[in-house]
Amino acid sequence: MGAVDVALSHVSKKYCKSLRRSMRYGIRDICRNTCGMSSHSDVLRKEEFWALKDVSFEAKQGEALGLIGANGSGKSTVLKLINGIFWPDTGKVAVRGKVGALIEVGAGFHPMLTGRENVYLNGAVLGMTRQEVKEKFDDIVEFAEIGDFLDTPVKYYSSGMFVKLGFAVAAHCDPDVLLVDEVLAVGDLAFRRKCYKRLKELRDENVTWIIVSHDVGTIQSNTDRVVLFDRGEMAYVGSPEDAISKYLYSLSQKKITAGGAVEHAAPPHGPAHQPEDFEVDRVVLLDKNLRERDVFATGEPLAMRIEFTAKQKIEDPMFVVSFFNGDNELCSESVSKFDGVRIDKLEGRGSVTFKTASLPLYSGIYRLQLIVRDVSFVPVALEPYAAFIKVQGGKHDTAAKFYMQHSWDVGLAEEINRQAL
Amino acid sequence: MTEADFTIYEPDNSLKKGYASLFGEIFSEINKNRWLIYQLFKKDFVALYKQSFIGFLWAIVLPLVSVGTFIVLKGAGVFNVGSISVPYPVYAILGMAIWGLFATGIVATSNALVNAGPMITKINFSKKSLVIASMGQGLLAFVVQLGLVFVLLLYYHTVPSVDILLIPLLIVPVLVFTLGLGFLMSLLNGVVRDIANMLAVVVTFLMFLTPILYAKPSTGALATLSGYNIMYYLVAVPRDMILYGTSDYLNGFFLSSVVAFIFFILFLAVFHLTETRVAERI
C-alpha cells in the first residue's frame, strides 16, 4: 500500500429539487461556462440543496475503502464524482489511473444486439480498446457462463444471464481504481461467489477499491477502512468495526424515534471504555447435554457460552454473535439488545450464553464472531475468530443456504374433508 | 508521481486550464474513441433495422413518397416546380438525399444524449462519440438514396457531370453544419426536452421553405429568403455540381461553408465546456 490513488478535498455537490428550475439553471450554466465566466457553483440558488457537503478523504493504492450510510446519505454521489460523471460544485477530486465501475452492470447493453455484439459495445463504452476486448473475449464469455446464447439477442436472455454478462465485461476491464456500487447482490449464489473471487483477484493485483453498500456484512468482510456518511456529510472515517458500530447506532436511534417509543438520550458520551476493561476469557460451544463440542449436525441445538472478566463496570451492554460461512459471507447475526434482552451491567467475572434450539446451517465450516458493545455502541470486545464449528448435514446434501426448523403433518383424506366442512 | 498523473475534476475546470488546451483535448478525445464511435454507430444501425424485413431500404421510402406527391401535384397543375433541365425525379431525389443528411442528422444528434441517458449517468465515457455516431444513420441513408439516384440516371439516360466523383467532398459542408448544430441541440435537449420536438417540426417546415423539390423562383419573397438560407446553398450547389458541373451560386456556397465551419468549431467548444454539467440534468 503506497501512494494516494483517489483524493477528495472539500468536495460538495448540490442538486435541484425542481425540474423546471433545473432547466433554467442548466441553460444559465451553459451560457456562463461558454463565455468563460464562473458558474458560481458554490452558492445555493432557490430550491437547491447540498447532496454532499465538504467531503474530504483519500484512498491509497491497493486499499479497499468502504462507503456506508443510509439511503440518500450521498455515498453514490461520491462514486459518480470519482468516476467523473458529475463535476463537484466546490472542492477538488483527483483520481490516478484508469477508473472502472461496477455500477448497475449491463447499463450499456442494447436488447437487440447479440451477446457477442454487446460485449464489444460495452467493452468500448467502458474504455477498452478493440485489441483488449479481442484478447479478453474468451475469458469474458467463459466467466459469464452464457454458452450457446452468445449469438442470441440479449433481449431473450434471462435476467440472470444479462447481469452475468454485464459483470463479466466490467470485471475484465483492468482498472487501477474500481468502484463497486451494490452490484454484488446479483445472480445466483454460485455466480456471486465467482464475482467475489474475481474481485479478490483484482485486489491482489493492487487495484484500489471503493465499495458502496448499506449492507454491513459486505463492508465488514471486504474493506480496510470505512467512511460513514450521514445526510451528505462525513460522519466518521476509520476502521470498519468502528464505522459500522456508529452506523448501526445512528440507525437504531432513528428506528426507535420513528416508532414513537423511547427516544435515546443524546448520543451518550458516557465513560469511554478501554479495550483492557473487558476481556473474553473463554468461548465454549455446548451441545444439548452441555458437553463441549465443535462438530454439530444440522438442526441440532447449540449453545455458545461466553466467559468474561469485566475490570470496569460496563452498563447496558449488548452482545453480537455472527456466523460467517467458508466464503466469509455473513449468514446470521444476533444482537442481544434488539432481541429485547437487557443486560444491566457487566462487572467482574461472569458469563453470557447464546442459544439456538436448532442450528439452521448446512454442511460446512463456519466462523463465529463475537462483539460486545457498550451503551454507545463502542466495541469493548471484538473477537472475529471467537470459535469455529463444523456442521455436518448428514444424509442431506444440498446447495440450500439455510435449514428451517420445521415439522410435517401428514393428513388422511377424511381429515381434509372434515377440515373443509 | 506528479500532479500530471492525476485526472482532476473541479468546478470551472476549463476556466482554470484556459481555452488554449481546449481543442487539443477535443482532438485527442475523438481520436482515442474512434472504435467507440464505430461501435455506437453499429448499435444504432442494428437497433433500427434488425427486426425488419426490408431493413435499410426504408431509407428510400420517405424520399420516394415526398417526390411522388410532388409529381402528382405537378401533373395536376396544382404546383409549379419551375424550369428544370434534367428529369424531375432525378433532380428531386438527389436534392432530397442531400437534404436528408441535414434532416436525419439534426434529429438524430439532438436526441443522442437523451436516448443514452441511463448510460451517461452510470458510465463515464465520451459523449462526443455519441453525437458523432448518431450522424451515421443519415450518412447510411444518403448512400442508399444515392443508389436510387444512379438507377434513375440510367433509366432516364441522363449523363451527370464528372463532378459526381467529388460527392464525398461536396457534402462535407452540410455534414459539418449539421454536426455542429447537432452538438448544440443535443446539449439543449438534454436540459429542455422541447428542443427535439421543436426541431422535428422546424425541419419539415424548412424543407418546404428551401427550394429543394422545386427550382428557386427568380423573384418574390421566397427568392429573397432563399438568398439568406444557408441550407439552400449547402444542398443546391452540390446538386448543381453533380448534375451540371457548374452552379450560379458558388460564392454563396463558399460563404455558407465558412459559416458552417465556424458554427462547428464554436458549438464543439461549447459542448466540450458544458457536457458534464448537462449530464447531471439528463
**pLDDT given for residue A184 in this prediction:** 61
Q: Check if B197 contacts A (Cβ < 8 Å).
A: no
Kindly list the residues from chain B whose CB atom is less than 8 angstroms away from the CB atom of residue A101: 122-124
In the predicted structure, residue A319 carries a pLDDT above the cut 90? yes
**pLDDT given for residue A268 in this prediction:** 47
What DSSP element (H or E) covers A253? helix A240-258
Q: What is the pTM of this model?
A: 0.76
Q: Is the dihedral of CA B229, B231, B237, B240 positive or negative?
A: negative
**Of B275, B281, B282, whose CA–CA distance to B125 is shortest?**
B275
Q: Cell digits for A92?
A: 477538488
* Whether the Cβ atoms of residue B126 and residue B33 lie closer than 8 Å to each other: yes
**pLDDT given for residue B1 in this prediction:** 43
**Does the structure's ipTM exceed the value 0.90?**
no
In the predicted structure, residue A265 carries a pLDDT above the cut 50? no
Residues 6+ apart with CB under 8 A from A308: A278, A279, A280, A281, A346, A349, A350, A351, A352, A372, A381
**pLDDT given for residue A146 in this prediction:** 86
> Distance of CA A139 to CAs A142, A160, A204, A219, B127, Å?
5, 18, 18, 28, 28
What DSSP element (H or E) covers B271? helix B250-279
**pLDDT given for residue A2 in this prediction:** 65
CB contact under 8 A, B123 and A90: no
In the predicted structure, residue A368 carries a pLDDT above the cut 80? yes
Residues 6+ apart with CB under 8 A from A131: none
Q: Check if B40 contacts A (Cβ < 8 Å).
A: yes
Indicate which of A13, A27, A34 best probes the interface with B, i.e. most B CBs within 10 Å of its own CB.
Answer: A34
- Mean pLDDT value across residues A243-266: 58
CB contact under 8 A, A107 and B273: no
- Mean pLDDT value across residues A293-305: 90
What's the mean per-residue pLDDT of chain B? 89
**pLDDT given for residue A273 in this prediction:** 64
pLDDT band, residue A421 (cuts 50/70/90): low
Q: Cell digits for B3?
A: 500532479
- Only one residue has cell 472515517, namely A237
Instruction: With H, G, I as helix, E, B as strand and everything else as coil, classify residue B87.
Output: coil
pLDDT (tens digit per residue) in A167-189: 889 888 888 898 888 666 566 66
pLDDT band, residue A267 (cuts 50/70/90): very low
CB contact under 8 A, B269 and A95: no
**pLDDT given for residue A66 in this prediction:** 92
More confident residue, A262 or A132: A132
Q: Cell digits for B269?
A: 467548444
Q: Check if B121 contacts A (Cβ < 8 Å).
A: yes
pLDDT (tens digit per residue) in B81-95: 788 888 999 999 999
Kindly list the residues from chain A whose CB atom is less than 8 angstroms away from the CB atom of residue B190: 26
**pLDDT given for residue B15 in this prediction:** 64
Q: Check if B22 contacts A (Cβ < 8 Å).
A: no
Which residues of chain B carry a pLDDT beneath 50? 1
CB contact under 8 A, B36 and A125: yes
CB contact under 8 A, B274 and A97: no
d(CA A189, CA A183) in angstroms, rounded, equals 13
Please state the separation of Cα B268 from the chain's center in Å.
Answer: 15
pLDDT (tens digit per residue) in A85-141: 888 999 999 999 888 888 777 777 888 899 999 999 999 998 899 999 999 999 999
d(CA A89, CA A393) in angstroms, rounded, equals 56
Residues 6+ apart with CB under 8 A from B14: A33, B21, B22, B272, B273
CB contact under 8 A, A42 and B6: no
More confident residue, A271 or A135: A135
Please state the separation of Cα B245 from the chain's center in Å.
Answer: 23
What's the mean per-residue pLDDT of chain A? 83
d(CA B141, CA B241) in angstroms, rounded, equals 21
**pLDDT given for residue A337 in this prediction:** 87
- Mean pLDDT value across residues A149-166: 88
d(CA B78, CA B145) in angstroms, rounded, equals 27
* Whether the Cβ atoms of residue A177 and residue A82 lie closer than 8 Å to each other: yes
